Amino acid sequence: MSAIKEKFNQISPSEFFYSNRDLAGFSNPTRSLYTAVREFVENALDACDQKGILPDVHLTIKAVDPDKPDPKPYILTVKDNGPGIDAEHIPLAFGTVLYGSKFGLKQARGMFGLGATMAILYGQITTNKPVIVKSSSDGKIQNQFEILLDIQKNKPIIVKHTTKEVAKTGLAVSICLEGDYSKAGNKIRDYVYETSLITPYASITFNDSKEQKFSHPRFVKEIPPPPTIIRPHPHGIDVERIRRMIVESQFEIPTIDDTMIEKVRKDLGLSVKKLSFISIMDKAKKKWKHLPRQVRVVIALMSFLKMDFEKLNKIQIEDIDMPNKKLFYWDFGDSQSKSVDMDPESEYYKQLTNTVQGEPLTTFLTKRFQRIGPTTAVKFAEFAKFKPEKRMGTLTNQELVNLSDALQKFEDFMAPDSSCLAPLGAEPLEKGIKKFFNPDFVAVVQRPASAYSGFPFIVEMGIAYGGDIKSGGPHVYRYANRIPLLYDEGSDVVLKVVNDTDWGRYKIKGEPPFIIVSHICSTRIPYKTAGKENVADRQEIERELRLALQFLSRKLSSFMSKRGQAEMAKKRANLYAKYIPMIAEFCTELSGRKKEPNYKKMLETEIASENKKAVKEANEIENK
Amino acid sequence: MKTSKKEQENKIKSRSKKADDKQKLILELLKTHGAKIYDDLDNGQFPKFSIPSRSVSNIVYDKQLRQYILGNNAALRSSRNSAQLRSFTQLMWLAFFANRLTTERKSSTLRDIYYSSQAFAVEFEDQSESDNIIVDLEAVTSRAREDFHIFPEERSSIFGDLNIEYTIPGYEGKTMNLANHPDGYSIGPSLTTAELVSTSAEIVIAIEKGGLFTRFVEEQVDKKFKSIIINTGGQAPRSTRTLLKRLHDEMKLPVICLTDGDVYGEHIAMVIKSGSANAAHLRELTVPDAKWVGVWATDIEKYKLPTIPMTESDIKRCYDLQKDPRYQDGIWKKELDVFLKLKRKAELEAFSKYGLTNITDKYLPQKLELAKSL
């Protein structure tokens, strides 16, 4: 777990979000309170998941002045037992927008950790109170910050910073924001309830502003395996992403100064200060394998310049023109620009090419993307009409676009790696459904991984019938990356698939008491809106949902028919008991007899046998 | 008609013996069925019986009998089958109740049966369910419900010089002339079961509408044309069709039908002549020699009758009947085709345009004359 390194980098200012906050779900006091709860709870769960810690999350919402009418200021606090955040990162993490720790490609609830800063920003706008962050990342010292956000400069203002001793790690974030709990309360309680169903390994408590306490203890002791961070899939990439990857792959020509020369000298193991050019080259050839890249580049340059260290000290490299095989430099001694030709046959020439022009296309593909081997890379180059050895650094803008297009269109790439996904697993899901609904019947399924547009995804689904479930179903519980989706269900792909189903075909009629739990896991959930409440109907996702639902519906159908058979047997027994004596009575008079026919024993045997059948079918359901 | 007192007594005796015999036969029939059920139960088995299938595929037209009959398909009704158990019990109750009615010579109606069931804790969803069970009883026993003293609600009426003698309890031997009351006599259980003694009439005119029936009585059509007039009140009820048959068979009277000039009128005449598919399980309800004399489609032009256009359902009915085997030739086919061509229809009342008595003065004599050649 500890292998997962947090990477922090600062990427963009907060003004944009200030003016577009409704995009992120902060449109009104009701929705904002709900969204803020979501963002902090999800961050807490994500932090614990990443470190393999069984989460204990405590949520409190308290009105600043309980007697005021809604909407009014509330203090929202979310406390977890996660890894905490190092003191040095706290001001930036909570006091700037777009400062995230979640930029790797793997499944997490939030994408970039943006939402939490949005909530802080919203709180500050509406109440002008700082965010209070208490964090301990070592389990000994807790840092407590009060931070305000400088919106124009996108910089944190530390109002107060204190420390104290504690016994365990964890993070507690507290903001003051304007909200409407009387309206948002239902949704927040639903959210906490539904979150605990999909996070059975977490213990979640919620103290609300009306002094009500909702406690959802964990009922699964094992945390599902965490996702791994993986390289991108070629189908899920665009021009901008390729450009960044190329920049990462290129090395700059090192500046040749005293420090550099000293390093080269040391790496070559040269104690003598003055050494001829030829001796240096000899020495380098012997040690080549062990030399770092920078040193190799310097040696290569020296080989063409035919200079020793002393001369090298008096020039500056101006340009390396690989196509024309010329090396330009400024000679401080003569105060003029000079050039030498480079021999393309030389080993050193290749070394420089690699450095200046980047990796060949095939190397770039196999090294920087998931699941591309050398054979596929060559095949792709042919498909995209690039030479396999084409240097990535020499791509023109148009070529870059062509490459990006070809990456999308090439169909022989393997399906995306799904190890970056973290489904809950069939067993915990079933446990959760059983605990929550105490149903007569439950079935769950985890579909194999699939992909849309290069993003892997997995669909998990559960279906349950009877027990504590209310009639009027199917009630659909939608989840994406372990987040319950509560708003905008009308346009959701899951609802679409459920509504398309002809339940009569599965022997489910009337207003049945049954629920469907759907969980989509992906490195990128195709939400329809920034509010992250409904999933778009991507064909591939729709297909997987459909297959999962069909599989479960068939199981439910067989349960229903078994149950139907049991009910039928019982019904038959009742019908016999009711009608056969009547028939006996009528036919006695009709046939002119005095005494009723001797049918009682037959009737008893038959009723007993039907009742036995009913019990047997019921037992079969029980044992399933 | 002059007969000695003794002869008269003997006649009454023989008539009541005939009614007794019929009653015995029906009771015997019910007892046989009851005994089979009783024996099944007594042997520790679920009772069952077979019933002719009344599904469309099993209703066929018999050219010799000139009516629809049921084919050979039969269904097994078992009390073991939980889906059939309820209707099985209902039918057993009905047989049981019919047995009481017949034994005690009491009459009941379809509606009365539905309500009576409640006293025995036998449930019927609605009257159509109990009506259906009554048809089941008819099908199993091949006997009309009237034989079990169960009659429909609707009544048609009769008027004319016909002497009858009642056979129902309390009226045995009592006679009546059906020309004594100008409103006509309602055709109910007592009339249907009465003996037909004598008549001076030479023809029976079955007419579709009550209004015209009254007009015919007022115009003394019975005397002028030596006829018995019967109001069928639309589609003729079974008891009326039974009476028509008896008038034809026992009194040797020809039967003619006078209906509205539309496809439904034509079919009213057809049902009197050859029965309906609904009663394919029963015989003795048809008058194969009955003749339809009007109002024909061709009469509409011939008599320049005021008309109204046919409705969609009229036209659909025409096409449906074109597929019926009984409408494949003769006047039936010809008139149906003309109706379809005209797409217009005329009521019997249409003749009023030419005077209230035009129909009895002009139209009827011509048609009676024509009937002889039909």
Taking the Cβ of residue B123 and every Cβ of chain A, the question of whether any pair is shorter than 8 Å is answered with: no
Highest mean pLDDT among A178-182, A246-250, A323-327: A178-182
Single-letter code of the amino acid located at A564:
G
Helix, strand, coil % over all residues of chain A, rounded to 5:
45, 20, 35
Which residue's entry shows tokens 């005077």? B355
Give CA–CA dist A508/B304, Å, rounded: 63
Identify the CATH number of the domain in which residue A532 sits.
3.30.230.10
Interval A529-557 mean pLDDT: 85
Query: Is A224 a member of any domain?
Result: no
In the numeric block, which tokens belong to residue B374? 């039909």
A266 and A347 belong to one structural domain: yes
Q: What is the pLDDT of residue A525?
A: 84
Query: Residue A557, exposed/middle/buried by CB under 10 A (0-12, 13-18, 19+)?
Result: middle
CB contact under 8 Å between B79 and A584, yes or no, is no
> In this predicted model, what pLDDT tens digit does every residue of A479-523 receive, in sequence order?
988 888 887 667 788 888 888 888 888 877 778 888 999 999 888
Pick from A580, A582, A588: CB nearest B38? A588
CB contact under 8 Å between B47 and A571, yes or no, is no
Give CA–CA dist A545/A517, Å, rounded: 11
**How far does the CA of residue A512 sit from the closest CA of chain B (Å)?**
24
> In this predicted model, what pLDDT tens digit does every residue of A289-339 receive, in sequence order?
888 877 888 888 888 888 888 888 888 888 787 778 888 888 888 888 888
Q: Cis check for the bond before A71: say yes or no (omega within 30 of 0).
A: yes
Pick from A572, A576, A584: CB nearest B41? A584
Q: Cis check for the bond before B295: say yes or no (omega within 30 of 0).
A: yes
- Asked whether the CA dihedral A524, A527, A528, A530 is positive or negative, the reply is negative
Give CA–CA dist A478/A489, Å, rounded: 9
- Asked whether the CA dihedral B227, B228, B229, B235 is positive or negative, the reply is negative
Give CA–CA dist A60/A58, Å, rounded: 7
First to last CA, chain B: 33
Taking the Cβ of residue B148 and every Cβ of chain A, the question of whether any pair is shorter than 8 Å is answered with: no
Q: What is the pLDDT of residue A102?
A: 45
pLDDT at residue A12 tops 50: no
First to last CA, chain A: 37
Residues 222-261 of B with CB under 8 A from A: none
Task: Work out the mean pLDDT of chain A and round it to a whole number.
Answer: 83
A124 and A238 belong to one structural domain: no
Own/partner pairs for A258-264, CB < 8 Å, 24+ apart? A258/A313, A260/A294, A260/A298, A261/A309, A261/A312, A261/A313, A263/A294, A263/A295, A264/A295, A264/A298, A264/A299, A264/A309
Task: Provide the domain limits for residue A589.
Answer: 560-623
> In this predicted model, what pLDDT tens digit does every residue of A62-85 receive, in sequence order?
999 888 888 889 999 999 998 888
What pTM was estimated for this model as a whole? 0.56
Give CA–CA dist A487/A123, Å, rounded: 22
Q: Cis check for the bond before A474: say yes or no (omega within 30 of 0).
A: yes
Lowest-confidence segment of A320-329, B158-167, B304-313 by average pLDDT: A320-329
Query: Is A416 a member of any domain?
Result: no
A448 to each of A451, A520, A581, how far by Cα in Å?
10, 12, 58
Interval A190-211 mean pLDDT: 89
Single-letter code of the amino acid located at B180:
N
Identify the CATH number of the domain in which residue A395 sits.
1.10.8.50
B207 to each of A71, B201, B311, B369, how far by Cα in Å?
83, 16, 23, 17
Q: What is the pLDDT of residue B180?
A: 93
Rg, chain A, Cα only: 34
Interval A544-558 mean pLDDT: 90
Q: What is the pLDDT of residue B3?
A: 55
Q: What is the pLDDT of residue A252?
A: 67
Which residue's entry shows tokens 């032009």? B301
pLDDT at residue B105 tops 90: no
Q: Which of B114, B115, B264, B319 is catalytic?
A: B115
CB B361 within 8 A of CB B351: no
Shortest CA distance from A570: residue in chain B: B82
Q: Residue A546: helix, strand or coil by DSSP?
A: helix
CB A191 within 8 A of CB A482: no
Q: Residue A452: helix, strand or coil by DSSP?
A: strand
pLDDT band with cut points at 50, 70 and 90 for residue A101? very low
Interval A202-224 mean pLDDT: 86
Query: Domain B200-373 classified CATH 3.40.50.300?
Result: no
A74 and A62 belong to one structural domain: yes
> In this predicted model, what pLDDT tens digit does every residue of A439-449 receive, in sequence order?
888 999 999 88
Which residue's entry shows tokens 């446990």? A431
A75 and A148 belong to one structural domain: yes
Quick one: DSSP state of residue A553? Answer: H
Q: What is the pLDDT of residue A176?
A: 93
Give CA–CA dist A222/A428, Å, rounded: 9
Give CA–CA dist A553/A224, Å, rounded: 26
CB A439 within 8 A of CB A466: yes
A79 to each of A44, A113, A207, A500, B298, how far by Cα in Å?
8, 16, 12, 42, 97
The reply to whether B61 belongs to the active site is no
Give CA–CA dist B50/B36, Å, rounded: 12
- Asked whether the CA dihedral B135, B136, B142, B144 is positive or negative, the reply is negative
Q: Which residues of A509-532 are buried (b: 16+ CB within 10 A; e: fewer)?
A: eeebbbbbbbbbbbbbbbbeeebb
A507 and A431 belong to one structural domain: yes
Pick from B30, B39, B82: CB nearest A590? B30
Percent of chain A with pLDDT over 70: 90
Cross-strand bridge partners of residue B359 = none
> In this predicted model, what pLDDT tens digit does every residue of B188-210 receive, in sequence order?
888 888 999 999 999 999 999 88
**How far does the CA of residue B170 sit from the closest CA of chain A (Å)?**
26
Identify the CATH number of the domain in which residue A66 sits.
3.30.565.10
A265 and A120 belong to one structural domain: no
Residues 2-41 of B with CB under 8 A from A: 30-31, 33-35, 37-39, 41
Chain A: which residues have CB within 8 Å of chain B?
Answer: 568, 571-572, 575-576, 579-580, 582-584, 586-593, 597-599, 601-602, 606
Interval A396-401 mean pLDDT: 86
Q: What is the pLDDT of residue B257?
A: 95
Which residue's entry shows tokens 């419900």? B145
Q: How many CB atoms lie within 10 A of CB A16?
A: 13
The DSSP-derived string for A458-498 is: EEEEEEEESTTPPSS--EEEEEETTEEE-S-GGG-HHHHHH
Single-letter code of the amino acid located at A546:
R
Q: Where in chain B is the domain with CATH 3.40.1360.10?
A: 200-373
Q: Give the phi and the psi of residue A404 in degrees, each rounded to 5.
A: -60, -45
Pairing of strands A475-480, A514-522: parallel
Cβ-Cβ contacts under 8 Å, B93 against chain A: 582, 586
Give CA–CA dist B6/B13, Å, rounded: 10
Q: Residue A106: helix, strand or coil by DSSP?
A: coil
pLDDT band with cut points at 50, 70 and 90 for residue B297? very high
Give CA–CA dist B194/B119, Å, rounded: 31
In the numeric block, which tokens belong to residue B314? 């009229």
Q: What is the pLDDT of residue A91?
A: 83
Q: What is the pLDDT of residue A109?
A: 65
Q: How many CB atoms lie within 10 A of CB A373?
A: 12
Interval B170-192 mean pLDDT: 90
B276 to each of B153, B273, B286, how far by Cα in Å?
19, 9, 9
How many contacts, defined by CB atoms under 8 Å, are there between A and B?
83
A400 and A433 belong to one structural domain: no
Taking the Cβ of residue B121 and every Cβ of chain A, the question of whether any pair is shorter than 8 Å is answered with: yes
In the numeric block, which tokens belong to residue A591? 């046939």
Quick one: DSSP state of residue B363? Answer: I
Give CA–CA dist A295/A185, Å, rounded: 64
Quick one: DSSP state of residue A342? Answer: -
Interval A538-542 mean pLDDT: 87
CB contact under 8 Å between A579 and B39, yes or no, is no
Cβ-Cβ contacts under 8 Å, A590 against chain B: 30-31, 33-35, 37-38, 92, 95-96, 99
Q: What is the pLDDT of residue B27?
A: 93
Give CA–CA dist A541/A537, Å, rounded: 7
Q: Give how many domains chain A has, as a whole number.
A: 5
Single-letter code of the amino acid located at A260:
M
A388 and A352 belong to one structural domain: no
Q: What is the pLDDT of residue A17?
A: 63
> In this predicted model, what pLDDT tens digit does every residue of A249-280 receive, in sequence order?
666 677 778 888 888 888 887 766 677 888 88
CA A83, A86, A88: angle at the middle one, nearest 5?
A: 165
Fold of B5-151: Arc Repressor Mutant, subunit A (1.10.10)
Q: How many CB atoms lie within 10 A of CB B32?
A: 12
Taking the Cβ of residue B45 and every Cβ of chain A, the question of whether any pair is shorter than 8 Å is answered with: yes
pLDDT at residue A112 tops 60: no
Query: Is A463 a member of any domain?
Result: yes
Q: What is the pLDDT of residue B356?
A: 85
The DSSP-derived string for A488-538 is: -GGG-HHHHHHHH--GGGGT--SS--EEEEEEEEESS--BSSTT---B---
Task: Work out the mean pLDDT of chain B and round it to a whole number.
Answer: 89
Cβ-Cβ contacts under 8 Å, B31 against chain A: 590-592
pLDDT at residue A1 tops 50: no
Q: What is the pLDDT of residue A103?
A: 41
Shortest CA distance from A597: residue in chain B: B42
**How far does the CA of residue A550 sit from the closest CA of chain B (Å)?**
31
Q: Which helix (H) or strand (E) holds A394?
A: none
pLDDT at residue A188 tops 80: yes
Query: Is A52 a member of any domain?
Result: yes
CB B102 within 8 A of CB B149: yes
Residues 6+ apart with CB under 8 A from A434: A442, A464
A464 and A597 belong to one structural domain: no
Q: What is the pLDDT of residue B272?
A: 93
User: Would you state the torsion angle of the CA atoms of residues A297, A301, A304, A310, taken in this order, to the nearest 10 degrees?
Assistant: -130
- Asked whether the CA dihedral B350, B352, B357, B362 is positive or negative, the reply is negative
Cβ-Cβ contacts under 8 Å, A599 against chain B: 41-42, 44
Query: Is A146 a member of any domain?
Result: yes
A102 and A74 belong to one structural domain: yes
Give the CA count within 13 Å in the CB-facing half-sphere of A315. 25
CB contact under 8 Å between A587 and B89, yes or no, is no
Q: Give the phi and the psi of residue A248 in degrees, each rounded to 5.
A: -60, -35
A155 and A98 belong to one structural domain: yes
